[in-house]
Chain A
Amino acid sequence: MDTILFNLIWVIPLFTVLACIPIPESHAKLLRGIHTVSASVVLAIVCYLTFRVYAMGSVSASEAAAPLLLRFFTDIPWLSMIGAHYIVGADGLNILLLALTAFIVWAGVLVSYNIKGNQKVFFALIQILATSVYGVYMSFDLVLFFVFYEMEALCMYLMIACYGSGRRDYGGKKLTLTLAFGSSMILATLFGLYFEGGVNSWSITELSKITLPMEFQMWAFPLMFMGFAVSSSLFPFHFWSPDGHSSAPTAVSMLAAGVMMKMGAYGCLRVAMFLMPEAAKIWLPYVVALLIFNVVLGPFIALRHKDLKYITAYSSISHLGLIFLGLAALTPIGLRGASLQMISHGFLTGLFFATIGMIYERTHTRDITQMGGIMRKMPFLGVGFVLAGFAGLGLPGFSGFIAESTIFIGAFQQDSTLTRIVTTLAILSITTTAVYILQTANRMLHGPLPQKYESLSDGCFREKLVIVVLVACLLFIGICPSWISDMLDWSIAPIFEKISAATQPVVSGIGG
């Protein structure tokens, strides 16, 4: 029963799209209702399954050793000639990411009620996008994984170009083509994984049982890692994200920054590092050097920007840098921190973009110099924005604090000078983050209220609900992180096991 429910997660959004085809475009209210119900049903299913996994996981956490412990496992032959199967399953990490996605999709649907243009197509695209993200987090077959991974490009462009604002065509094209460039690198290495692996399987669990030839790993790992890093906007592949986010409609920004950028980090962990641990050990210490730009320069650039979405985009770049710092640390605590940060950042950036979208809908500007004093008119939205900011700068009590401190502890455990230097810089850069977030909140929310904003209203019930739910999630993770980190721990254990068991003649001098 649970397995069927699990498979329904990605089927329901698609089915909703099909069900809406006969409804004419003019029945916007009905369409919105159907999509909201569908997103809520998926959210309910995912929440239920998350607790199921938690309950099962706590019983058998001890047995979570070398092989992946997958719940709701489904394996059906799919494309016979290339040996692709339909393999889906969930461990602690996946199911939490699925829950994150379900929350963001649900919130995204709720904040898109006032979208201009053809709402029927817009909601259909959101649902297809949701399908692709759910699929990525569920699949344990590389072909299936890639299909879902690249499907997003199709919807993203259409959504940004048709429903976005500003330089929407430019932003959409930049985003889609850069992501396609990343996935093309991944696709090229996937063929190598299949043929060099010699097990004639695309299954991640099967492939993780073998050791791939070292010559192959040495070129394949960086390629694949780069491919995934593109979607997580690791320097120097970050250039698509500010333009893409700023021109996207609110729901797309939320999904893109909140969930899709995590797909890259998740892919790095689950595919690149898990299947090629030997090369990961050799290459990852170098990656740390790139992170200086993400972690340290990101906040400084955000400091200079006046556009709210650009500020959030650069803050996302720096937060994703922290995820990679956790991954590159190659310690269990670092990996746990990285995955905690994936989930925490998803919620906080979702909240960020949601409140920005709501404020933009009212003020029609995202330029903070044009704003001021709007707290008086929109206390609820203002508080929502400030709370997102607090979570972003890592205030204790919010999820950001737990995630970031775990990453820093994990990274410091790594016995390498470079990593320690970068970690120290990253810790110091939190100050910059605090500066730009407080400065933005201050300029936007306080001071004299311009005449033109006199008639603005606060959020309606629907908008308040979104803010309350997302804030509740942030606080919940922040106040009692133990059950989430338990779930993460036993799903990361096999990955770490594999990395630590990887015995390669590590080239001396690398990483200090």
Chain B
Amino acid sequence: MLDLYNSTFIIPDLLLLLFPFIVIGSRLFCTAQSKVPWRIANFGFVAIFIVLNFIPLASGEGRFFISNWRIDDFGVLMREVFLISAILGIWFAKDYFEHGADGKPQMHQIAEFIGAIAFATFGGVTVVSACDMLTFFLGLEIATIPMYALTAWNKKDQLGSEAATKYILMGSVATAFELFGFSYLYGFAGSLHFGDIQQAVAAGTSPLLWVAVLFLFCGIGFKLTLFPFYTWAPDVYEGAPTPVTAVLSVTSKATAIAFLVVLVFGPFAPIQEQIAPFIALLAGTTLFVGNLGALKQSRLRRFMAYSSIAQAGYIMVALLGPATTAKTAIVYYLFVYAVSNYLAFFIFGIIGHHREETFASLRGLSKQNPSLAIALAISMFSLAGIPPLAGFFGKFHLFFSGASTGHYMLVAFAVLNNVLALFYYIQLIKSAWVEDYDGHLSPLRLTRRQRGVIVALSIAVVALGFIPFLSNNIFAGFSF
């Protein structure tokens, strides 16, 4: 099974597994203030990203470990999403280890922090590679448990501890639901392997299966912040340190979405049509609730929490399409979403370093720092899905996938909801562009790294939109 050619496929995964140990281990040989772990982390993530791009995928897929570990096109692209998120996440986090922000103290132990993010990334990779339920479950937990720790990273911060407690409790309930669902699925199919489950599901359904489906969706609903399981998200997003919120909103969301994609187009593929109304209901309610919730917010991170709840709803719309269309649309959207979201978070981070993280702190930004205001407008309009920015094309693909199986009503509902979303994204832009500068706000200073990242991400958000470089590569170069 393990021939030399195919075994190259697994190199990035093994590197990624080793990587957190190297970063944390490096702490043994250097001082607390040393920059070595940070440099290793940067080098490591970027190197793995590059190695990942050399995987010769035209040949299909690789299977490892008694065919429980699969590397296919979807998996590779998702790995790239996870790695981009990790790289941007640690770059973003770096500033928070140098000084405090938004009234919270400076963070410590950067090596362990990076290690935790690397573990969460590996968890995501495990989820997309899994071919049996045990691996699948392990992946989900590896992705989630570091996030609990990260949420409480600021030990002196009351809100952070509260958020972490809430997150752990909710997460455990979700895990319980998952396990229950998995056990029923095992009871139904008599096997842990996805292939066998798919055969069993294709052969015929039973109430046992529906219970399993229901519980699995409930479990993942918690993690993906679907309605009605989303209530923890605003508090956790608000309470966690800002870089953790950023990672949470991208890596954790991508993991949860990948989980659903693997499940719906893997073991549940034969009953996709039957669960479509259920998915449509979850998608519609989630995006509506997320949009409604965002309308009233005045704190930036709470606002981003609701915005990301709504984004989860939009992504769910794509799950209704045929496998290839849906997977491509979702992967493309995740790239776009990661870039737009991190751009927004980098800007909020700069605000947070000098001011409170509220809408009011954005006042007069266009006069004080026009480039930052332009970047903010770009990220917000992209998240709102206004062409020609990347967000529009991302959403277009999601809706395209949903509409291709005739779910016009849901698509129309989602598109109309976009107007609601535009309203609150405009609120934010209004704070930055229309309201006048008020003398009490402290001035903003950008470091070279922040400036570079913001320029690069802004260009990416604009260029990914109408230059079909990324989308055509994803859609044409890979076979799903």
Residues of chain A whose beta carbon lies under 8 Å from any beta carbon of chain B: 25, 78-82, 118, 121, 143, 146-148, 150-151, 153-154, 157-158, 161-162, 168-169, 173, 176-177, 180-181, 184-185, 187-188, 191-192, 194-195
Q: Complex Cα distance A231/B419, Å? A: 15
Contacting pair A180 B418 (CB below 8 A): yes
New A-B contacts (8) at CB < 8 Å, excluding given A158-B429, A184-B416:
A81-B471, A81-B474, A82-B397, A118-B370, A173-B423, A181-B419, A184-B415, A191-B403
Q: Does B396 reach chain A (CB closer than 8 Å)?
A: yes
Picked from B389, B422, B466, B474, the residue with its CB within 8 Å of the CB of A180 is B422
CB proximity of B245 to chain A, nearest CB, Å = 27
- B415 contact from A79, A148, A188, A195, Cβ within 8 A: A188
Chain B count of residues within 8 A CB distance of the other chain: 42
Residue of B nearest to A144 (CB): B466
Does B392 lie at the interface of the complex (its beta carbon under 8 Å from any beta carbon of A)? yes
Note all chain A residues with C-beta closer than 8 A to B399: 187, 191
Interface pair B419/A195, CB less than 8 Å apart = no
B408 touches A154 (CB 8 A): no
Residues B422 and A191 in contact, CB atoms below 8 Å apart: no
Q: Mark B439-480, 1 if CB is under 8 A from A, else 0.
A: 000000000000000000000000000101001101110000
Interface of B with A (CB < 8 Å)? 325, 328, 366-367, 370, 374, 377, 381, 386-389, 392-393, 396-397, 399-400, 403-404, 406, 408, 411-412, 415-416, 418-419, 422-423, 426, 429-430, 433-434, 466, 468, 471-472, 474-476
How far, in whole Å, are A180 and B406 apart by their CA atoms in the complex? 23
Query: Which residues from chain A contact B411 at a C-beta distance below 8 Å?
Result: 188, 191
* A150 CB contact (under 8 Å) in B387, B434, B472: B387
Q: Which residues of chain B are within 8 angstroms of A153 by Cβ–Cβ distance?
A: 386, 422
- Chain A residues lying within 8 Å of B433, measured Cβ to Cβ, are 158, 161-162
Whether A143 lies near B386 (C-beta < 8 A) is: no
Chain A residues, CB < 8 A from B418 = 180, 184
Residues of A close to B381: CB separation below 8 A: 154
Q: A residues within 8 A CB of B429?
A: 157-158, 161
Whether the Cβ atoms of B472 and A80 lie closer than 8 Å is yes
* A81 and B403 contacting across the interface, CB-CB below 8 Å: no
Establish whether residues B387 and A146, one from each chain, have CB atoms under 8 Å apart when the complex forms. yes
Asked if A82 and B403 make an inter-chain contact with CB atoms under 8 angstroms apart, the answer reads no
- In terms of DSSP, what is the predominant structure of the interface of chain A? helix
Residues of chain B within 8 A (CB-CB) of A180 are 386, 418-419, 422
Q: 6 interchain pairs (CB within 8 A)?
A: A81-B474, A150-B386, A158-B429, A184-B416, A188-B408, A191-B411
Chain B nearest Cβ from A254, distance in angstroms: 22
Query: Would you give the shortest CB distance from A264 to chain B, in whole angstroms?
Result: 17
Q: Which residues of A contact B393 (CB under 8 A)?
A: 79
Are the CB atoms of B476 and A81 closer together than 8 Å?
yes
CB-based contact B412/A79 at 8 Å? no
Question: Min CB distance, A85 to chain B, in Å?
Answer: 11
Decide: A79 and B422 in contact? CB cutoff 8 A: no
Identify which of A80, A82, A151, A173 contacts B400 (C-beta below 8 A): A82
Task: Please pick, from A147, A157, A181, A185, the residue contacting B388 in the complex, using a CB distance under 8 A.
Answer: A147
Choose from B325, B370, B419 the contact partner of A121 (Cβ within 8 Å).
B370
**B395 vs chain A, min Cβ distance (A):** 9
Which chain B residues border A79 with CB–CB below 8 Å? 393, 468, 471-472, 475
Contact A191 B426 (CB under 8 A): no
**Cα–Cα, bound, A407→B466 (Å):** 39
Decide: B476 and A80 in contact? CB cutoff 8 A: yes
**How many angstroms from the CA of A194 to the CA of B397 in the assembled complex?**
13
Instruction: Give the residue of B386, B392, B426, B434 whose beta carbon is less than 8 angstroms from that of A162.
Output: B434
Shortest distance between the CB of B445 and any CB in chain A (Å): 20
Which residue of the partner chain, among A148, A151, A154, A184, contacts B419 with CB atoms under 8 Å? A184
The answer on a CB contact under 8 Å between B400 and A150 is no
Q: How far is the CA of A248 from the CA of B62 in the complex (A)?
A: 59
Q: Which residues of B contact A150 (CB under 8 A)?
A: 386-387, 392
**Which residue of chain B has the shortest Cβ distance to A128 in the bound complex?**
B388
> Which of A150, A157, A187 neighbours the largest number of chain B CB atoms within 10 Å of its CB?
A187
Q: How far is the CB of A77 from chain B (nearest CB, A)?
A: 9
Q: A161 and B434 in contact (CB under 8 A), knowing A80-B475, A81-B476, A150-B386?
A: yes
Closest 4 CB pairs of A and B: A81-B475, A191-B403, A188-B412, A147-B387
Query: Which of chain B's residues have a CB closer than 8 A to the CB of A151?
Result: 386-388
Q: Which residue of B lies closest to A216 (CB)?
A: B408
Instruction: Chain B residues near A82: list those with CB within 8 A.
Output: 396-397, 400
In the complex, A146→B399 CA distance in Å?
14
Q: A147-B392, A168-B434, A187-B415 are in contact. Are A78 and B468 (CB under 8 A)?
A: yes
Q: How far is the CA of A154 from the CA of B389 in the complex (A)?
A: 10
* Complex-state Cα separation, A80 to B325, whole angstroms: 12
| Residue of chain A at shortest CB distance from B406 | A195
* Shortest Cβ distance from A143 into B: residue: B396
| Interfacial chain B residues near A121, Cβ < 8 Å | 366, 370, 374
Q: Which residues of A contact B471 (CB under 8 A)?
A: 79-81
- Distance in angstroms between the alpha carbons of A168 and B436 in the assembled complex: 13
In the complex, are the beta carbons of A169 and B430 less than 8 A apart?
yes
Q: Given A81-B397, A143-B396, A147-B388, A191–B408 Cβ distance below 8 Å?
A: yes
Shortest CB distance A31–B (Å) = 14
Most buried by B among A151, A177, A188: A188
